[in-house]
Homo-oligomer: A and B are copies of this chain.
Amino acid sequence: MNAPSSDLGEFDLIRRYFQQHEAQRDAIQLAQRGVVLGIGDDAAVLRLPRGTDLVAAVDTLVAGRHFPLATAARSVGYRALAVNLSDLAAMGATPAWATLALTMPTADARWLQEFSAGLFDIAQQHGVTLVGGDTTRGPLTVSVQILGSVPRGAALRRDGAKAGDLLAVSGTLGDSGAGLKFVSAAPSGGDRGDARAAAVDELIRRFDYPIPRVQMGLAARYIASAAMDISDGLAGDLPKLAAASGLHAHVDVDRLPLSPALRATVSEVQAREWALVAGDDYELLLAASRANYPKLEAAARQLNLTLTIIGELSSGSGVSWSADGVDYTPATSGFDHFG
């Protein structure tokens, strides 16, 4: 169903934010980025580097489900691309292009300005060019498809792990999920005393502006045996990697990397639980042989990124957990974005 032409002004408004930014690039810049034909035709024409395969992923953020309705527009734009970059990171792929399907209730100029600032901020950090988009009126939904490339045969898959491999995670777990819980409870930590308030603000920032581990994914190529990103919580995601590789995974919950900010705000037992099931971490879960692990660790060190061994893989199936030396069962078996 179409709308009368009186709405053309609104449409133009949207287009201005997303096309002008990219149109500023000159032809040489676009060619360097593999963009043969960008925004403005029926489709984009893109050139992959020689000897590479295309890597494609899509992730959708729905207002009120994947972020609180009151979330800053800048965070929404940033996160929409960040969660997709995290998928490419988990493949060891180099991000290149993105398309945006934006559904929004009204063409709010200030909201759009902030949204696009967040989106283009992280796009620029990772050399991503927006090559297409579609804007429709409706309840706020942001769907981004990310496109990138990987040398043929080099993609990090979930099914490549071997018995005896070590399991490691990047960064710290549970922060983002904790941030979401705090932001849902109160918009700012400002009234909670200085140290705790600063910690809460940091956790909220982790939710609003997750850092996709793209460089770590690239560094893990030819070293890690398997990888995936942790978006639904380790307890929800690890079983997928174990199943894809046909192995049993064991995790020592005492080893889970917890940030000072998380430890400063909640009890140890709560922090552990959130690290397992709260989700929205966008850290990498990596498997590597004991022989290769030092190389992985060296790569992480060069990126100033913490890498923590949390367990190992063995023949069998399923996932087992231990804490304080005895069996442990996470509070839930995992979270699910459809619910």
Contact = CB atoms under 8 A, between A and B. Distances in A.
A3 B61 CA distance: 14
Contacts of A335: 2-5
A214 interface: no
A339 to B, nearest CB: 2
A131 interface: yes
A339 B6 contact: yes
Contacts of A313: none
Contact of A137 (B57, B65, B280): B65
Interface string A177-200: 100100000000000000000000
Contact of A338 (B10, B44, B100, B334): B10
B139 A139 contact: yes
Nearest to A3: B339
A249 interface: no
Interface in A1-60: 1-8, 10-11, 14, 36-37, 40-48, 53-60
A311 interface: no
Contacts of A62: 103, 136-138
Interface string A228-239: 110011001000
A337 interface: yes
B337 A136 contact: yes
Interface in A122-160: 131-139, 141, 143, 145-147, 150, 152, 155, 157-159
Interface residues of A, number: 90
A247 to B, nearest CB: 16
A42 to B, nearest CB: 4
B58 A2 contact: no
The listed residue with most B CB atoms (<10 A of its CB), out of A53, A97, A132, A339, is A339
Given A42-B229, A57-B44, A65 B138 contact: yes
Contacts of A99: 56-58, 145
A53 to B, nearest CB: 5
15 contacts: A1-B64, A1-B68, A4-B335, A6-B339, A14-B338, A40-B158, A41-B157, A42-B228, A43-B91, A54-B147, A58-B99, A107-B338, A136-B141, A137-B339, A141-B141
Interface of A: 1-8, 10-11, 14, 36-37, 40-48, 53-68, 86-88, 90-91, 93, 97, 99-101, 103, 107, 131-139, 141, 143, 145-147, 150, 152, 155, 157-159, 177, 180, 227-229, 232-233, 236, 244, 278-280, 332-339
